[in-house]
Structure 1
Amino acid sequence: MNYPIYLDYNATTPCAPEVIEAMIPWFGEHYGNAASKSHAYGWVAENAVEAAREQIANLIGAQVKEIIFTSGATEAINLAVKGTFELFKGEKQHFITCQTEHKAVLDTMKSIEESGAEVTYLPVDNHGKLSVKELQSSILPHTKMIALMWANNETGVIHPITEIAKLAEEKGIIFFTDAVQAAGKIPVSVGGIHLMAISAHKLYGPKGIGALYIRHNHSLPKPLAQIHGGGHEKGFRSGTLNVPAIVGFGKAAEMRLYEMKEESKRLEKLRDFLEIGLLRLPDSFLNGSQDRLSHVTNIAFGGVEGEDLLRKICQKLAVSSGSACTSISPKPSHVLQAMGLDADLGRASIRFSLGRNTTEQDILDAVGWVEKVVGELRGY
């Protein structure tokens, strides 16, 4: 198939060749169940899982025992939020999150609201940034959790996580962060954080595997399990472990720890080159702030219809208008709406996210194609 140029790395990343190579033996030669404690097949699988757990812990500065494997970030988010809500069942509960969170967080918050929780959805300014002062004033005596993402999946905007973690620590509140777009892209540390969701397929690992960091040796409680049946993963998440995917996740985490600094610099130059080219077009605007991930740009193109724009651009460029979960929806992005963009401009906004395989020629071709499409749609 003649694929378009791929500029949708925030939706998913290709498995790195080294990751695929690391995974292959665990599909065939080493097929044991990591929970089989009585023979060598199980021991070998368990050792591989624990080695991967250490690689992932190293990426985020955690202890090995604090990494709990899940089927992905969405499950990790559900375990963190619902598990905390159920922990305090019978008590008055208040959770704080933000209007620009990923739908995996927002939908989970709606779910616990329907079960009796009170949830505050913090607003953001027109650059997508939240106010820590407003966050602080939102804290109530019965606030159980602050749930805020590290970096936004649509705009790349980075929240002041260190400041938020300090506030949560001072107030004795559980702080959960969705670090899916940050881990492996920028340095991430679990200092002051109680729960953190990460995902392999956003950092050149396989799909279908993620993890929840759960802080140990702290007075704040841990979430209750949401999946039962065997007590795997220290009782937090039952189910036979996906050993090949876990091995791939570990390899990807190990690679990103050493690659991401230099790769980030390279991608920032390419991203800026792309941005300069696209913002030269009349009536085009950057959505977000400069305090963002180095490989992401989200640009609004005025004077065009959003669905036509996306359909035509995607003939030669793989891009999206929002998160992968909602990119086929004709509705404007909830993130851009929260930032105050009107509906038409929100629908005519495109997220470009660069990655490991992006070249300078890709960017030159992308700028040329977008210029052509926008010009045609505007009748130039």
Structure 2
Amino acid sequence: MTANRVYLDWNATTPLRPEAKAAMAAALDVVGNPSSVHAEGRAARGLLEQARAQVAAAVGAAPRDVVFTSGGTEANALALTPGLRIGSEPVECMLVSAVEHASVLSGGRFPADRVTQIQVTADGVLDLDHLRALLADGGPALVSVMLANNETGALQPIREVAEMVHEAGGVLHVDAIQALGKIPFGIKELGADLVSLSAHKIGGPKGVGALVLSPRLSGPEPLLRGGSQELGRRAGTENLIGIAGFGAAAAVAIPAMADDMARIEGLRTRLEAGLRHISPDDGMIVSAGAPRLPNTTLFAVPGLRAETAVIGFDLAGIAVSSGSACSSGKVQPSHVLEAMGFGPELARSAIRISLGWSSSESDIDRCLQAWRKLAGNLTKRDHETVLERF
């Protein structure tokens, strides 16, 4: 971290763990291609398979069921494929929760007219009655529901969703990118058929992810063809350096999770108490009534321009976000908050503060000091004037 800066945007990305950096440095010295049969190739293959086993262990899967990708977005795109099946009848339509990441809302390889959104409650939790009705209306569907929302931190009842989907003959994809390393889960316990992961959310490098498959699943068809890598499920020479970093990060993050997250949840409680004290009348913690990730706070203030507040925090030396890192550069309301029933004004007003393993009480105190200075002005004055005063 840069000196005198406070990083509170861990849901966007995390610092590279020392263990991941060391594994990547070691992989730089490995000459061989993992597909080659000579000694150099076998050495590269050994590193690749070690990382595959480490990632598989993080979610209770068999190593052969892990397909490495260029990141979470590609993992999602690979999963969202017509024709997947567990039984005899393939899925030809897709049901997706209205609060998914943009890479899932896009529908993958499903035609737009075959994709239907599932409603959520005011707390951002899936409306199970709506899902049940949608499953009853059509044939077997691919249902995609994230385990933890990247903006609100709200957790979804995936086990119940899995039972409903499988009773209807469907297939369940779970985007678990924000959940990995923050809450315990396994692909079998979830009842999921496909699970997407990303390295840079747990202290691994950017640009590498994985799709984990249930062994009973038929498919998906590869996005990239032309080689036999990843058991024919993704062509192209593997990103050995990034994959080695992913495996090393997973091997550290999962054992440390319980202690890290207990401490981090205490910091979040301190943060939210402070936010409520400073803005007792206007501010609200989004999804406060739902189970949430222990590190995530989405704070909304009517009349606030979130992008202006983010700049104000940045000038104070604090990194926060106005939503998903994939969309926070766009001045538009959060689709997650709109799906939860928030009007456009409030959907433009939310600040996401997300914590990580190196977050401290002093970080929380600095954040609250900055908010106390900003809060009195940002909802009332022109944003340029406010930033000049700050």
Counterparts of 1:31-110 in structure 2, within 5 Å, are 31-37=31-37, 39-82=38-81, 84=83, 93-109=92-108
Correspondence for 2:123: 127
Query: C-alpha distance in 2, partners of 1:345/1:189?
Result: 35
In the alignment, does 2:238 pair up with 1:237? Answer: no
Correspondence for 2:292: 292
CA deviation after TM superposition for structure 1 residue 85, in Å: 6.9
The partner residue of 2:134 within 138, 151, 154 is 138
Query: C-alpha distance in 2, partners of 1:92/1:187?
Result: 29
The partner residue of 2:258 within 256, 261, 264 is 261
Unmatched 5+ stretches in structure 2: 382-390
Counterparts of 1:149-188 in structure 2, within 5 Å, are 149-188=146-185
User: Is the 8 Å Cα contact of residues 86 and 224 (structure 1) preserved in structure 2?
Assistant: no
TM-score (norm 2): 0.91
Correspondence for 2:9: 8
Correspondence for 1:200: 199
More deviation, 11-20/311-320:
311-320
Write out the 4+ residue segments of structure 1 that deviate beyond 6 Å after TM superposition: none
Aligned residues: 371
CA deviation after TM superposition for structure 1 residue 84, in Å: 4.3
SS in 1 for 2:358: coil
Query: C-alpha distance in 2, partners of 1:319/1:99?
Result: 24
Identity over the aligned pairs, expressed in percent?
38
Query: C-alpha distance in 1, partners of 2:186/2:212?
Result: 11
CA deviation after TM superposition for structure 1 residue 60, in Å: 0.2
Letter in 2 for 1:311: I
Query: C-alpha distance in 2, partners of 1:152/1:301?
Result: 20
SS in 2 for 1:35: coil
More deviation, 163-172/321-330:
163-172
Change (3 A) 1:3 1:361: closer
User: Is the 8 Å Cα contact of residues 83 and 225 (structure 1) preserved in structure 2?
Assistant: no
Change (3 A) 1:137 1:265: same
CA deviation after TM superposition for structure 1 residue 256, in Å: 1.4
Counterparts of 1:324-335 in structure 2, within 5 Å, are 324-335=325-336
TM-score (norm 1): 0.93
Q: CA-to-partner distance for each residue in 1:344-377, whole Å, 9 max, x for gaps?
A: 2221110000001111100000011011111132
User: Is the 8 Å Cα contact of residues 83 and 226 (structure 1) preserved in structure 2?
Assistant: no
Correspondence for 2:321: 320
Query: C-alpha distance in 2, partners of 1:379/1:230?
Result: 59
CA deviation after TM superposition for structure 1 residue 173, in Å: 1.0
Query: C-alpha distance in 1, partners of 2:158/2:339?
Result: 20
SS in 2 for 1:307: helix
Correspondence for 2:388: none
Query: C-alpha distance in 2, partners of 1:246/1:307?
Result: 34
CA deviation after TM superposition for structure 1 residue 308, in Å: 2.2
Correspondence for 1:310: 310
Query: C-alpha distance in 2, partners of 1:45/1:92?
Result: 37
In the alignment, does 2:15 pair up with 1:19? Answer: no
Letter in 2 for 1:7: L
Query: C-alpha distance in 1, partners of 2:54/2:208?
Result: 14
Query: C-alpha distance in 1, partners of 2:372/2:83?
Result: 48
Measured on the aligned residues, the alpha-carbon RMSD in Å equals 2.0
CA deviation after TM superposition for structure 1 residue 143, in Å: 2.8
CA deviation after TM superposition for structure 1 residue 126, in Å: 1.2
User: Is the 8 Å Cα contact of residues 155 and 290 (structure 2) preserved in structure 1?
Assistant: no
SS in 2 for 1:262: helix
In the alignment, does 2:114 pair up with 1:118? Answer: yes
